[in-house]
A and B are shown apart, each in its own frame.
Chain A
Amino acid sequence: MLPLTTGYFAGYQPMQVLFGLFAAAALTGAILIKDRNLKGMLWEALAVSLILMLGTYLAHNTIVNLANRKIATGFDFLDREARFEISESLIPYSAASTYGRAMLVGFLNTLKVSILGIILATILGVGIGILSLTRNWLVRQLAGGYVHFLRNIPVLLHIFLWYTAITNLLPPLRQALSPVPGIYLSQRGFFYPVPEPATGWTAALYGLIAGVVLAVAATRVARLRQDRTGEILPTGLVAILLVIGVPLIAWLVGGAPTAFSVPALKGFNFEGGTSISPEFFAVFGALSVYTSAYIAENTRAGILAVSRGQIEAGRTLGLSEGVILRQIILPQALRVILPPTTNQYLNLTKNSSLSVAVGYPDLVSISNTTLNQTGQAVECISIIMLVYLATSLATSALMNWYNRSIKVVER
């Protein structure tokens, strides 16, 4: 907390004058002095003093304005009671929780929609990208149309179109569509059954994680063995067996529970099962489909960048088209595809901030509510920016690490 005394404010103007004098001196020196090194340093000094001058000026104005408007400063508000509800949350939250916890809820919601969006966008994008290069004329046209149509409309418009389609075109809750028994689609969201909590299901979940880890390990071992002896082990089959088999055994050992909580219409709402809100679905659907168009273009460019001789060599060896695609084209194309696709992942994460437009409670929309209640614009916007900056840097670091790990090791 800065001490809000007049003496403190008064300190700013002399500082501005001082920095101004520095700037003037540096400028004169930079023009007059001929020595290159010294000249460079003086230009730098000029830039720094100008920035400091502007910085102290803005800081001074901000502190005066905040004091005039009786707005508090500092991050103390994070510990105060938030007094607003949040429609969906991954962790326990109520109106009695703190602003800090509300922001955490928002951040987790941002992560949820971004991670799920990235997964779907990658699957759709890579698929469409490959399809846009087939010999099949019709498929090529459809894939091209998909990319052009999606890319040339603003992402915010996509989000609104999805949201409007869900809330205007789907029936109200009481006449919810039920394409499959137990699953209901309505303008208030999608409802679907979930297993009743039981040890068997928990065991199956852990089994699934263990199965995936084992499958990855088995693939690694097989690869090492192939490198050493040339013997090819059936890794695909083993991996599928592990991923399906281990959770299945865990489920059977855990008592093979079969009870499901199925949503049923009671009064004004569904009870049982679980639901996806229209807000989440609109943001998730729009972001992943929009981003998939860009990833499709990256994939296409990446595959085209693989030299034609590689594919001809594969055909000469008598490999099937599928093996050529998986073992020759994709690993090489991946190195070209990855850097621009990392950018698309970052864009998707940043675009999730548009959730605020349809009311999905992501970090930005909760910070916005907090900002309106507390008036502490500087703090709230700084939190948004810092969190996104940290997320972006972390994603870049992760993808750079992955990029390095798949790089060709040259002799």
Chain B
Amino acid sequence: MAIEMTGPATMAAPAGAPRDVIGWLRENLFSSPLNSVLTLISFGLIVLVVPPLVRWGILNAVWTGGLERCKAVQGTGACWIFIAEKYRLILFGLYPFKEQWRPLLMTVVLIALLAASMNRAFWRPWLGLAWLLGYLAMGILMWGGIFGLAFEDTDKWGGLPLTLILSVNAIAFSFPLAIALALGRRSDLPVIRMICTGFIELVRGVPLISVLFMASLMIPLFLPAGVDINKLLRAQAGIILFTGAYVAEVIRGGLQALPKGQIEAADSLGLGYWQKTGFVVLPQALSLVIPPMVNSFIATFKDTSLVIIIGLFDLFGSARLAANDPAWRPFYVEGLLFVALIYFVSCFSLARYSRYVERLARQGDQR
């Protein structure tokens, strides 16, 4: 089997190569007997899979009307009106129906802040201030209780806003923990190194679900009688600790990639440990790890779907909630696909962004 080592993107057509359709087909699909067979198999797969999907998802699907029309096509066509009927429950969970503009606005603010943070031109001190103000505004919107907004407790939070809150907080708050752990793991002090390494390897060795069980069942035992932390905050704490261990390893990668000369230069300038770390090591190491950090964020974003197992209704959880309605139960798959689409679009675009940052960094190196 011919392996294209340079990758398709860098293949340039030789001068005078045939650019017509037949030439392209021969070059790309039928260059050898094996290739022709592969093409035919792929074509067969497409013919086998795509038409039934199109029939189910588009041609036979119900786009308008009521439940009885869905019942009529059940099994042969998709029932997209389930989404139209339940999208607010799926997107916002059990948040009071009339107040759902609040989580909507919060989501818009959060996504705007995230989008702004993706642009290198905005990496200025005022972005930090914007995040602080944004957090304050988002807290007021979600909890309410002042400015005439009714108070909504965290047990009513759900849907996409909850997924976003859990994952953005996980990355934001695990970051300082992760820096401390990564520095600790590379510290000269053996006891500190042992503690940090032990914590990181312990957390990375166990599944997230066990950490969430611990957060939901053991934290209440750890606290003195009478003190109670609500379930969302406990889950969030568990996710932060879990993410911290993984992000710490990412940051350690950045620390290790830093040329030794940088540290020696700082030492020869007579800088102390904190000055050296704060002004020389961390700024360079952290900018090296931005692409893998984005990947950690994607992983965390997907992982937050596990909170459903301890009874929180994130995006996925509220889709299941919507399908609990007996009348709509047969159309659960449609709900799952809707949620899958949201996850796919978010994660795919973040992954593209991570690739873009990586390319930018490589261009910077080449200068």
Q: Binary interface profile of A, 128-165, with partner B (CB < 8 Å = 1, else 0)?
A: 00110111111110100000110111111100110011
Residues on the B chain within 8 Å of A389, using CB? 202, 205-206
- Between B42, B195, B223, B298, the greatest number of chain A beta carbons within 10 A of the residue's beta carbon is seen for B42
- Minimum CB–CB distance for A396 against chain B, Å: 9
Looking at A64-72, A117-125, A227-235, A254-262, the stretch in contact with chain B turns out to be A64-72
Question: Nearest CB to that of B350 among chain A residues?
Answer: A152
* Total number of B residues with any Cβ neighbor in A under 8 Å: 63
Within 8 Å of chain A (Cβ to Cβ): is B172?
no
Q: Is the CB of B209 within 8 A of A356?
A: yes
A51 to B184, CA, bound (A): 15
Within 8 Å of chain B (Cβ to Cβ): is A97?
no
Question: Nearest CB to that of B209 among chain A residues?
Answer: A353
Q: Binary interface profile of A, 324-349, with partner B (CB < 8 Å = 1, else 0)?
A: 01000100000000000000001000
Q: Is the CB of A64 within 8 A of B225?
A: yes
Within 8 Å of chain B (Cβ to Cβ): is A388?
yes
Within 8 Å of chain A (Cβ to Cβ): is B43?
yes
Q: Is the CB of B221 within 8 A of A377?
A: yes
Question: Nearest CB to that of A137 among chain B residues?
Answer: B28
| Contact for B343 among A44, A64, A157, A393, CB less than 8 A | A157
Q: Is the CB of B5 within 8 A of A161?
A: no
A388 to B205, CA, bound (A): 7
Residues on the B chain within 8 Å of A350, using CB? 206-208
Residues on the A chain within 8 Å of B17, using CB? none
A354 to B220, CA, bound (A): 23
Q: Binary interface profile of A, 83-107, with partner B (CB < 8 Å = 1, else 0)?
A: 0000000000000000000000000
- Minimum CB–CB distance for A64 against chain B, Å: 7
Given A47-B191, A134-B35, A304-B5: A381 in contact with B214 (beta carbons within 8 A): yes
Q: Is the CB of A47 within 8 A of B195?
A: yes
Q: Is the CB of A311 within 8 A of B39?
A: no
| Contact for B213 among A64, A131, A384, CB less than 8 A | A384
Given A68-B225, A385-B206: A154 in contact with B333 (beta carbons within 8 A): no
Q: Is the CB of B191 within 8 A of A138?
A: no
Q: Is the CB of B2 within 8 A of A321?
A: yes
- Minimum CB–CB distance for A305 against chain B, Å: 10
Looking at B92-100, B259-267, B303-311, the stretch in contact with chain A turns out to be B303-311
Within 8 Å of chain A (Cβ to Cβ): is B340?
yes
A140 to B8, CA, bound (A): 9
Within 8 Å of chain A (Cβ to Cβ): is B147?
no
Question: Nearest CB to that of A352 among chain B residues?
Answer: B207
Q: Is the CB of A304 within 8 A of B7?
A: yes
Q: Is the CB of A65 within 8 A of B35?
A: no
Not counting A135-B28, A152-B344, A364-B207, a sample of 9 additional A-B residue pairs whose C-beta atoms are within 8 angstroms of each other reads A47-B192, A130-B3, A134-B35, A136-B29, A169-B75, A311-B3, A381-B213, A384-B206, A388-B206
Sample 16 A-B pairs with CB under 8 A, ordered by A number.
A40-B188, A135-B35, A136-B35, A142-B46, A148-B348, A148-B351, A156-B306, A303-B5, A321-B3, A325-B1, A329-B3, A354-B209, A356-B309, A384-B207, A385-B202, A388-B206
